[in-house]
Amino acid sequence: MLGDDVLAETALRLYFDAWDRLRVILNDWDSRIPDAPFAKPIPDMWKEEADAYLEDCQTDLQAIIAVIQQSNELALKARLCAVSPYLLLLENPIPLSADPKPLDFFDLRTIDAQRLRQAVNTLCPKPLPPTFITRYDRLRKIRNRYTHLGQIGAPLNPVEMLVGLMDQFVELWPDRAWLSDRLRVAYHDREAGFGDKFWNPAYRVLRMWEGDMEFMPPARFRALFGIDPNVIRYLCHACRKDAATREGLYGLDAPTAFSIEDGTAIQCLACQKPTVIARERCGRPTCTSDIMGAGDHDGMCHLCGHERGSPADIGEPGDNDGFSLLPTLNQSGPRDRSLSG
């Protein structure tokens, strides 16, 4: 029999798959045309090219809508299944027979996507927000048009789709933690098994995080994480160490943490753990921080990542090609491997 936890996890995996695909589409443009990032209004001199790019993205974007809608539907089915798996069979007759042959649940027809939201709001303890229902119906229609006609008529915009995904997360999973779910899911995706000393799933998520934030409007960020985006300033050394590759912490200067408890600790959005800090001036002359690691992370600056006693110019934030390029498996190519020794 099907479990609600399996349905919910698949819904999340599809959700972050859609997020990643949108980020790659935007990154493909931004990394080539850094003067006209898609997250900002496109300057006039790039408008024509941006419109042409957007037009060429439509097939990909329509396919991503199908993934998003699949995620929505599975999330709603997970809610029904948590009440009873038999609710998934609502409105479809179960072929009863005196023949004692067992029925395969997976052969049975489950509730129509069109009726899912009513079923959840009638039978589950927690109703769906009206904003979710509106978007769900809109996405379902777009997905159906794409499925049946191969096109949808109106153009899709990847930035708006990312914002829609942020709303979706808040509406469907208000008690879940976005960045920590993103990390967990990354450890189970297609590339995860290739993790080695050159690359790992946490490295990829952390390297993408700062770029992710650029696409999150402040109000949406507050809704998703419960805090203002400007307070995310500090590096979580535990998360960086999990993401470290053969190159150490190089390039892992994405802040995921914010100050709590009158400045005696920081809290990380990824690992969700509060970390006690020590008050000590950072040894890097260009850094203003006096928030340093304690215990296992003694002497490591939480603002710039500098380690006590190491040269000031090593690993300075911004000295890598950074978050403008999404790190993928391709980054650890044969050239890197030949250096492994």
Interface residue list for Zn ion (CB under 5 A): 236, 239, 268, 270-271, 282, 284, 287, 289, 301, 303-304, 306
Q: Are 316 and 253 spatial neighbours (Cβ–Cβ below 8 Å)? A: no
Q: Minimum distance between the CB of residue 278 and Zn ion, rounded to whole angstroms? A: 13
Q: Are 25 and 61 spatial neighbours (Cβ–Cβ below 8 Å)? A: yes
* Of 161 and 236, CB closest to Zn ion: 236
Q: Minimum distance between the CB of residue 241 and Zn ion, rounded to whole angstroms? A: 9
Distances (CA, A) of 200 to 180, 191, 194, 247: 15, 9, 7, 12
* Of 284 and 297, CB closest to Zn ion: 284
Nearest to 179 by CA among 273, 267, 270: 270
Q: Minimum distance between the CB of residue 302 and Zn ion, rounded to whole angstroms? A: 8
- What are the strands of the beta sheet with 274-279, ordered from one edge? 257-260, 265-268, 274-279, 291-293
Give the whole-angstrom CA distance, residue 281 versus residue 283.
Answer: 6
Residue 56's DSSP bridge partners are none
Q: Minimum distance between the CB of residue 219 and Zn ion, rounded to whole angstroms? A: 25
Q: Minimum distance between the CB of residue 227 and Zn ion, rounded to whole angstroms? A: 15
* Of 120 and 268, CB closest to Zn ion: 268
* Of 245 and 289, CB closest to Zn ion: 289
Q: Minimum distance between the CB of residue 41 and Zn ion, rounded to whole angstroms? A: 34
* Of 128 and 282, CB closest to Zn ion: 282
**DSSP 3-state assignment of 118?**
helix
* Of 217 and 322, CB closest to Zn ion: 322
Q: Would you say the C-alpha torsion 183, 189, 190, 192 has a positive or negative sign?
A: positive
Give the whole-angstrom CA distance, residue 206 versus residue 265.
Answer: 21
Give the whole-angstrom CA distance, residue 132 versus residue 129.
Answer: 5
Q: Minimum distance between the CB of residue 199 and Zn ion, rounded to whole angstroms? A: 19
Give the whole-angstrom CA distance, residue 287 versus residue 280.
Answer: 12
* Of 30 and 242, CB closest to Zn ion: 242
